[in-house]
Copies of this chain bind each other. A is one copy, B any other.
Amino acid sequence: KQTARLLIKCPDKRGIVSAVTQFLHKNEANIIESNQYTTDPQDGRFFMRIEFESPHLPEAEATFREGFQPIAEQFDMSWDLTGAYDIKKTAIFVSKELHCLRELLLEWQSGDVITDIKLVVSNHEDCRELVESFNLPFYHIPANKNIRKQVEEQQLSLLEEYDIDLIVLARYMQILTPEFVAEQPFKIINIHHSFLPAFIGANPHKRAYERGVKLIGATSHYVTNDLDEGPIIEQDIMRVDHRDNVDDLKKMGRSIERSVLARAVKWHLEDRLIVHKNKTIVFK
């Protein structure tokens, strides 16, 4: 499709939308969807996502970029242009629990998530059969605390080899080093099995059971070096009651986790997410 998305961040000032839309108009682009948000009409920060069609895309993308540069400079913008025709390349990391991986594979197969899944990496063999039944490359890289460095070197070399745009931690139970994370800023999406910040850390379902909460949840977030503290992308919950034991909570949790992660991944792939001060702006 001849569709692209323009993402903009800059200080809020009068005239931004006017300048941007005039530029698109001159370039014969037709706006399909437009979203904007300002943290504060007085001296706030401005964010915009415009999805547009143009008969000149993708050929004229470079010309387009060049032409937009002066406007970007005038308003002090950081900006990005991504074509819907440039399908993003994804790697999925997983351990032993396969429900999130399965969901992503099915959504991908049915065309509900548009990406190019390049490989699946796991520290266990459990998902090999599933992955290979989808004709995808599977890499088994055993991992533990002590060999973290070597493991990540292998992983990074695969990410480079496949030119990966997005890493999805689909219940990957290993902690990544700051070095690894630093190489992929806001390119790693994790699913945490609690309604963060409640039950941050390990064993959230056990702790939820012990506290006697009446709702359990899941949280998808970008990975940063503060464990479970990265910008939240999506959350959802399910109602539980006194009859549900820890295993029931885990089972119900799986259902929330897979749908929450799938939504977060979809939004990332459609360039609907902007990170600002450890929060996400989601232009749905």
Q: Which chain A residues have a beta carbon within 8 Å of chain B's beta carbons?
A: 12, 14-15, 17-18, 21-22, 24-25, 28-34, 36-38, 41, 53, 98-99, 102, 106, 110, 112, 133, 195-199, 211-215, 217, 231-237, 241-243, 251, 254-255, 259, 278-282, 284
Contact A25 B14 (CB under 8 A): yes
Contact A212 B28 (CB under 8 A): no
Contact A197 B211 (CB under 8 A): yes
Contact A22 B18 (CB under 8 A): yes
Give the chain B neighbours of A198 by CB distance below 8 A: 195-198
Give bound CA distance, A98 to B109, whole Å.
11
Q: How far is the CB of A44 from chain B (nearest CB, A)?
A: 10
Give the chain B neighbours of A197 by CB distance below 8 A: 198-199, 211, 213
Contact A53 B34 (CB under 8 A): no
Contact A30 B17 (CB under 8 A): no
Chain B residue at minimal CB-CB distance from A50 = B17
Are A31 and B21 CB-contacts (below 8 A) given A41-B53, A242-B280, A242-B282?
no
Given A18-B25, A212-B279, A242-B279, 20 more contacts at CB 8 Å? A14-B25, A17-B17, A17-B25, A17-B31, A18-B18, A18-B21, A31-B38, A112-B251, A195-B198, A195-B215, A197-B213, A212-B278, A213-B232, A214-B234, A214-B282, A215-B217, A215-B237, A237-B237, A241-B284, A242-B282
Chain A interface mostly helix, strand, loop or mixed? mixed
Q: Contact partner of A232 among B24, B25, B214, CB < 8 A? A: B214
User: What are some 22 contacts across the A-B interface (CB < 8 A)?
Assistant: A12-B30, A14-B25, A14-B30, A17-B21, A17-B25, A17-B34, A18-B22, A18-B25, A22-B22, A34-B34, A34-B36, A106-B106, A112-B254, A198-B198, A211-B232, A212-B279, A212-B280, A214-B232, A214-B282, A215-B217, A215-B235, A215-B236
Give the chain B neighbours of A242 by CB distance below 8 A: 37, 279-282
Give the chain B neighbours of A110 by CB distance below 8 A: 98-99, 102, 254
Are A235 and B214 CB-contacts (below 8 A) given A14-B30, A21-B18, A31-B36?
yes
Give the chain B neighbours of A98 by CB distance below 8 A: 110
Give bound CA distance, A112 to B196, whole Å.
25
Contact A241 B282 (CB under 8 A): yes
Give the chain B neighbours of A30 by CB distance below 8 A: 12, 14, 41
Give the chain B neighbours of A33 by CB distance below 8 A: 36
Give the chain B neighbours of A195 by CB distance below 8 A: 195, 198, 215
Give the chain B neighbours of A259 by CB distance below 8 A: 255
